[in-house]
A and B are shown apart, each in its own frame.
Chain A
Amino acid sequence: MIELNPVTSSLVELALDAAKMRLDVTANNVANVNTPNFRAMDVSFESQLEMHRSAMLDKRNDSSNLAILNQTKPEVVTSVDDLGLDKEVLVDQQLMELSKTVLHYKALLEVNNKRGSLVRMAITGSTR
């Protein structure tokens, strides 16, 4: 199937998955806030994208960029502080992370809706 901007759609899909995973991880951190010895967890995704970014800007062709995206996968990691030590769960930090995640999720869905209206325009030939 020929798809309009497939890289955008799979990128949005990946990022939505990562946001959902981050919500689960935050929920788990908050649920364990009073558990002794529990260490906060986080999702590694943006750092992976960052690594691939220059490569993706180099070869601006969809199939190779999609191949790069296929290697990117959100992963659950133990969060570390600046000194590289495991972090305790801090409720305020977690709740801030939570509201960021929700906003980010909404923004991604907005991007996806815009992409949808572009496809609609391409099909119907009009903006209505």
Chain B
Amino acid sequence: MDYFSAMDISATGLDLERTRLDLIALNIANATTTNSNPNNVYRPLNVIASPKAASFETQLDGQLKQLPYSGVEITSIDYSRSEPRKVLSPGHPHADKDGFVFSPDINLTVEMLDLISARRGYEANLKVISAAKTMNERALEIGK
């Protein structure tokens, strides 16, 4: 348990929420892209996160009942398995021989909801950082 541990933990949270935001931006930006081959259509990306295990020393001190985690970590960034949308549009430059155009299966409502949750998560982590700052500042005044 060191001086900046809470801030380090919240920094991992900030990093995750920012990555989430980046991917949402990427998904929305690519929402209307098209392709004639369903395999080449943009696939929406998702971030997969899991609790980050604490360092080896902390786990070794397990009998002291320390915090077993040190924040959150991005396990992977993976594309969505959903099938691309197939729209009949024979005049489209990307239409295949049957006149179908493929576009990514991106639900703007879901992306916007994810955006709100990412933003709130980011704010919550910032709140914790400023609380940690206040506490550390007060601790420096011990004995004054």
- The chain B residue sitting closest to A17, CB to CB, is B1
Give the contact stretch, choosing among B26-34, B66-74, B78-86, B104-112: B66-74
Interface presence of A106 (CB below 8 A): yes
Number of interface residues of A (CB under 8 A): 36
Q: Is A24 in contact with B124, judged by CB distance below 8 angstroms?
A: no
Interface presence of B134 (CB below 8 A): yes
By size class, the interface of chain B is 35 or more
Complex interface: chain B residues within 8 A of A109 (CB) = 138-139, 141-142
Kindly provide the distance from the CB of B64 to the nearest chain A CB, expressed in whole angstroms.
7
Q: Is A106 in contact with B65, judged by CB distance below 8 angstroms?
A: no
Given known pairs A27-B10, A75-B65, A109-B139, the reply for A21 and B71 (CB within 8 Å) is no
- The chain B residue sitting closest to A16, CB to CB, is B139
Q: Is B132 in contact with A35, judged by CB distance below 8 angstroms?
A: no
Interface presence of B125 (CB below 8 A): yes
Complex interface: chain A residues within 8 A of B71 (CB) = 27-28, 31-32
Q: Which of A21, A30, A38 contacts B10 (CB 8 A)?
A: A30
Interface presence of B5 (CB below 8 A): yes
A35 to B127, CA, bound (A): 19
Complex interface: chain A residues within 8 A of B132 (CB) = 23, 27
Q: Interface of chain A, helix or strand or loop or mixed?
A: helix
Interface presence of A41 (CB below 8 A): yes
A101 to B49, CA, bound (A): 27
Interface presence of B120 (CB below 8 A): yes
- The chain A residue sitting closest to B64, CB to CB, is A73
Max chain B CB contacts within 10 Å: which of A26, A31, A38, A75? A31
Complex interface: chain B residues within 8 A of A75 (CB) = 65
Interface presence of A76 (CB below 8 A): yes
Q: Which of B65, B124, B131, B138 contacts A33 (CB 8 A)?
A: B124
8 A Cβ contacts from A78-128 to B:
91, 94-95, 98-99, 101-102, 105-106, 109, 112-113, 116
- The chain A residue sitting closest to B118, CB to CB, is A34
Kindly provide the distance from the CB of A58 to the nearest chain B CB, expressed in whole angstroms.
27
A106 to B133, CA, bound (A): 12
Given known pairs A24-B6, A28-B70, A41-B67, the reply for A34 and B128 (CB within 8 Å) is no
A95 to B126, CA, bound (A): 11
A residues in contact (CB < 8 Å) with B: 16-17, 19-21, 23-28, 30-35, 38, 41, 73, 75-77, 91, 94-95, 98-99, 101-102, 105-106, 109, 112-113, 116
Q: A-B pairs with the 4 shortest C-beta distances?
A: A31-B13, A75-B65, A27-B9, A27-B6
